Amino acid sequence: MQDFPISYIEPVFRPPSEAHSLILPVTNGCSWNKCTFCEMYTQEQKKFRARDEAQVLDEIRLTGEKMIVQRVFLADGDALVLPTRRLLSILQAIREHMPEVERVSSYCLPRNLRKKSVDELKELADAGLRMAYVGCESGDEEVLARVNKGETYESSLSALDKLGQAGITRSVMILNGLGGTSLSEQHADNSARLMNESQPEFLSTLVVSFPTGEARFREGFADFRPLGQQQLFVEVERLLQRLELRDTVFRSDHASNYLVLKGTLGADKQRLLAQVRQAIEQPQQARLRQEWQRGL
Ligand code: SF4
């Protein structure tokens, strides 16, 4: 749109559940940008930088004059890397110029919260930040190290706990297949342990994929053997079996998944397990997505 007040540097990513949100870039790229499975921000124009604060505030004001907005997603890869003061001024501007906004959300890396206290996060929550999407990917130290995630079980847990204490809804992603065949079991076991300890409000699994090739990934994981479709299901089954969640919305409906699962854990645990078992034993009856439907 020619006179749209917000300028974007493509490509821009958002979680599937933010399809109807205003995407507001407050940073460009990802401040870490070293996970070997991720190509989201590797193009030159996506090199990390914080966007100019005055420009962002102007865009908020101008957008508020033109349209009614109910949801805002702060882009790019880890908007919560910004200092609390700057985030507060963005949230306050959203409240002032887009008074209908009910929810502001953002991606968040555990490392973004190392220097942020629970009290600071509470201030952000009070100013409108409702939800953080945290790509934990795995709870297993070895998998995290092999893929250069730059996080550990403890750093992930600490971030999830801080967000929880601040009242910010946590939506966690775990990557099915990230440990390949050799680390599949410990990946499932320790990811379940991380989720059980942190009890996030939302959990989704995505299937690891390499649309632009595996070369970068194999630099740190030379003996990686990808899981076949059935092995991916066995890993999800193992994860689900070990999850002891009290009230978590579980989804595996991202385009990368062969098997779409939706439910609330723990209430729907047995039903979800039965669906996965059927996909393992009778894949032709399990309504799996075909390769061409996976939209990678
Ligand atoms: S932290 Fe997220 S966006 Fe950044 S490189 Fe890793 S997976 Fe990609």
Which of 31, 35, 174, 175 most suits a substitution to test ligand 1, by most atoms within 8 Å of the C-beta? 35
pLDDT band at 253 (very low <50, low <70, confident <90, very high): confident
Is residue 33 lining ligand 1, measured as CB closer than 6 Å?
yes
pLDDT at 178: 97
Using the predicted structure, report yes or no on whether residue 5 has a pLDDT greater than 60: yes
**CA 150 to centroid of ligand 1, rounded, Å:** 10
Total residue count of the chain as it appears in this document: 296
Q: 148 in the Ramachandran plot: left (φ > 0), alpha (ψ -120 to 50) or beta?
A: left
d(CA 75, CA 24): 6
pLDDT in tens, 158-210: 999 999 999 999 999 999 999 999 999 999 999 999 999 999 999 999 999 88
pLDDT band at 296 (very low <50, low <70, confident <90, very high): low
Domain ranges (residues) in the chain:
16-293
Distance set, CA 54 to CA 232, 240, 294 (Å): 46, 46, 40
Residue 220 contacts residue 36 (beta carbons within 8 Å):
yes
Mean pLDDT taken over the chain? 94
Residue 124 contacts residue 164 (beta carbons within 8 Å):
no
Q: Which atom of ligand 1 is nearest to the CA of 135?
A: 2
What is 16-293's CATH topology? TIM Barrel (3.20.20)
d(CA 48, CA 274): 44
Q: Burial code of 178-199, b = ≥16 C-beta within 10 A, e = fewer?
A: bbbeebbebbbbbbbbbbeebb
Mean pLDDT along residues 77-106: 98
**CA 137 to centroid of ligand 1, rounded, Å:** 10
Is residue 234 lining ligand 1, measured as CB closer than 6 Å?
no
pLDDT at 210: 85
Instruction: Tell me which residue has its CA closest to atom 6 in ligand 1.
Output: 35
Element (H, E) at 263: strand 261-265
pLDDT at 243: 98
pTM for the structure as a whole? 0.95
Q: Which carries the bigger pLDDT value, residue 289 or residue 141? A: 141
pLDDT at 295: 59
pLDDT at 283: 83
Residue 273 contacts residue 237 (beta carbons within 8 Å):
yes
% the chain with pLDDT above 90: 88
pLDDT at 257: 85
pLDDT band at 33 (very low <50, low <70, confident <90, very high): very high
pLDDT at 134: 98
**CA 3 to centroid of ligand 1, rounded, Å:** 31
Secondary structure of residue 195 in the 3-state scheme: helix
Mean pLDDT along residues 244-256: 92
Which amino acid, one-letter code, is at 182?
S
